[in-house]
Structure formats: structure tokens, C-alpha cells
């Protein structure tokens, strides 16, 4: 029997992720059908293409991530299968992110319609530059074939001088809030601030969005970092120092069903 999706586990970030995907689906693909790359290429090369065709050109030339979350969410999971096959299997390292794409799309549609000729209304579009670039790539037959790249190591605390470490330690020890103190210490070990603030309690919750986040394992005391296809690497996983690990274990035990260790 399939596991029922638990709506209660959705954080505010998760809900935004789902909403962005729904906006793209309902706006560009209201009938549930996705035009093929060949169809979009033919429209662009014909010289008679509209605003919808331009956005599809951007999606095919850049690619777009599909969050595991929308592959599981009841309202989006069926369409997500087709979407992933069309736009996520072959994509650039810097693939389009649904949230930003959705925001730009909806903002543009406040001034134009999808059926408007792109050439006639392009000056009104918020993201006309990237759209023009995508159209140019389609005309040249430039489409992504896959993802390249390797993980980059984050900063190491060992690069700091002993004096500076001592000064930082004194300041950090005076932070009264456990969560703030743990977040500050964790960042010293090379994690991006957004990764710390969106750290989760389990692998499942950490990897459900388009941008996979780290999670903390109380059993090993390790910040487990994800592999990412984007340019914003998380770096290698790392075992936290004993004091930091104890702080994170405490926070982990107090975290709610959404798994957000540092909620807003």
C-alpha cells in the first residue's frame, strides 16, 4: 500500500515550492500537455512565435529542476512525471529555478498575454533579456545535454589564526539563544547561511525541494550535505565538534514535524 502524503510535514518553503510549480503548470500547460522540444524549435524558427513559445524556449535551453516534493504531492505528482522528463533530464548546471521562473512569468503576464506576439511585446517583459538569449539558442540549435561539475570544498576553520578563533569563541559563547549560537558555529565550518537556516532533521525532508539542503544526524553528530547539480555546492559532509554537535542534537530533538531546525 502506497504511503499517504502527510500535508502536515510541509514547511512554508515547501508550500512556496509547490505553489511555484502549480503556477507554471496552470499558466503554461493548462491542458496538461507539454509541447515537445521539436515543436517549440519549429515555432521559433518559423519566426511566428508568441510569449508562451519564448518561455518554453527558455525552459528547453536552460532546463529546470523538478523537486522530489512535487513528484510526491497529490495535486502535482502526475504532471511532475512529464515535466521532469521534458525539462530536468537534460539541463544546464545553472538550471532555471521554479520559484524565480514563476515569479517572472506571473509578473510579465500582468502586462501581456501568452498569445501575444513576442516581438511586439518583448519590451514589456520583466525577463526579456534571458528570453531573447533562449530564442537565440533555439535558432542555433543549442540545447543542454547534461550536467558537469564537481563539488567545491567550503572554508575550513583551520584557516583562521588561533587568536581569531579564540576571539570568535568568546563572542559566540555569549550568544544566549541555542539556535542562533549553533547556526553561527555551523557557518564557521564552511556551510552557506541559507543551507544552515534551512537544515532539516532527516534526509527525506532535506531533499524534497528543488534545492536540496543539509540535514543533521544526531546518531553520528554529522551535518550531511547533499550532492547538487547546480553551481551552489554544499561541500563535503562534516562531523561537527562535540559542543556544536550537542547543541544541534538538542535542537534536533525539539524540532517539529516539518523538520525545520532553524524556522523563521
Task: Render 30-99 in DSSP notation, one character per residue.
Answer: TTS----HHHHHHHHHHT--BHHHHHHHHHHHH-B---HHHHHSTTTHHHHHHHHHHHTSS--TTPBPHH
pLDDT of residue 231: 57
Report the chain's terminal Cα–Cα distance, integer Å: 36
Give the H or E element holding residue 222: strand 222-224
pLDDT digits (tens, 9 = 90+) for 117-144: 999 999 999 899 999 999 999 999 888 8
Average pLDDT score over residue span 181-190: 65
**Torsion on CA atoms 200, 202, 203, 206, rounded to nearest 10:** -20
High-pLDDT (> 90) share of the chain, %: 45
The pTM (predicted TM-score) of the whole model is 0.69
pLDDT of residue 164: 61
The confidence band for 179, taking pLDDT boundaries of 50, 70 and 90, is confident
Grid cell of 132 as nine digits: 531573447
Q: What's the Cα-to-Cα distance from 241 to each of 109, 166, 182, 263, rounded to whole Å? A: 50, 15, 11, 23
The Cα 66–Cα 224 span in angstroms is: 22
The Cα 23–Cα 127 span in angstroms is: 17
Sheet holding 215-217, edge to edge: 215-217, 222-224, 238-239
pLDDT of residue 125: 92
pLDDT of residue 192: 67
pLDDT digits (tens, 9 = 90+) for 31-64: 999 999 999 999 999 999 999 999 999 999 999 8
Amino acid at each position: 500500500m502506497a504511503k499517504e502524503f502527510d500535508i502536515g510535514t510541509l514547511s512554508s518553503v515547501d508550500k512556496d515550492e509547490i505553489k511555484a510549480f502549480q503556477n507554471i503548470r496552470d499558466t503554461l500547460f493548462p491542458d496538461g500537455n507539454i509541447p515537445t522540444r521539436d515543436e517549440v524549435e519549429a515555432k521559433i524558427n518559423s519566426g511566428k512565435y508568441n510569449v508562451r513559445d519564448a518561455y518554453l524556449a527558455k525552459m528547453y535551453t536552460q532546463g529546470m529542476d523538478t523537486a522530489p516534493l512535487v513528484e510526491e504531492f497529490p495535486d502535482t505528482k502526475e504532471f511532475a512525471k512529464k515535466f521532469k522528463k521534458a525539462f530536468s533530464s537534460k539541463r544546464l548546471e545553472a538550471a532555471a529555478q521554479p520559484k524565480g521562473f514563476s515569479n517572472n512569468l506571473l509578473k510579465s503576464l500582468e502586462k501581456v498575454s501568452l498569445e501575444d506576439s513576442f516581438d511586439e511585446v518583448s519590451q514589456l517583459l520583466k525577463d526579456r533579456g534571458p528570453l531573447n538569449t533562449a530564442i537565440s539558442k533555439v535558432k542555433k540549435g543549442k540545447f543542454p545535454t547534461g550536467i558537469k561539475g564537481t563539488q567545491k570544498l567550503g572554508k575550513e576553520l583551520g584557516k583562521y589564526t588561533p587568536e581569531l578563533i579564540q576571539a570568535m569563541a568568546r563572542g559566540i559563547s555569549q550568544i544566549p539563544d541555542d539556535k542562533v549560537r549553533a547556526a553561527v558555529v555551523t557557518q564557521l565550518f564552511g556551510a552557506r547561511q541559507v543551507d544552515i537556516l534551512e537544515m532539516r532533521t532527516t534526509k527525506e525532508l532535506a531533499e524534497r525541494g528543488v534545492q536540496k539542503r543539509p540535514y543533521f544526524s544526531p546518531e553520528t553528530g554529522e551535518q550531511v550535505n547533499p550532492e547538487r547539480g547546480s553551481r551552489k555546492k554544499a561541500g563535503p559532509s562534516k562531523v561537527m565538534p562535540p559542543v556544536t554537535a550537542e547543541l544541534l542534537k538538542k535542537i534536533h530533538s525539539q524540532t517539529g514535524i516539518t523538520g525545520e531546525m532553524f524556522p523563521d
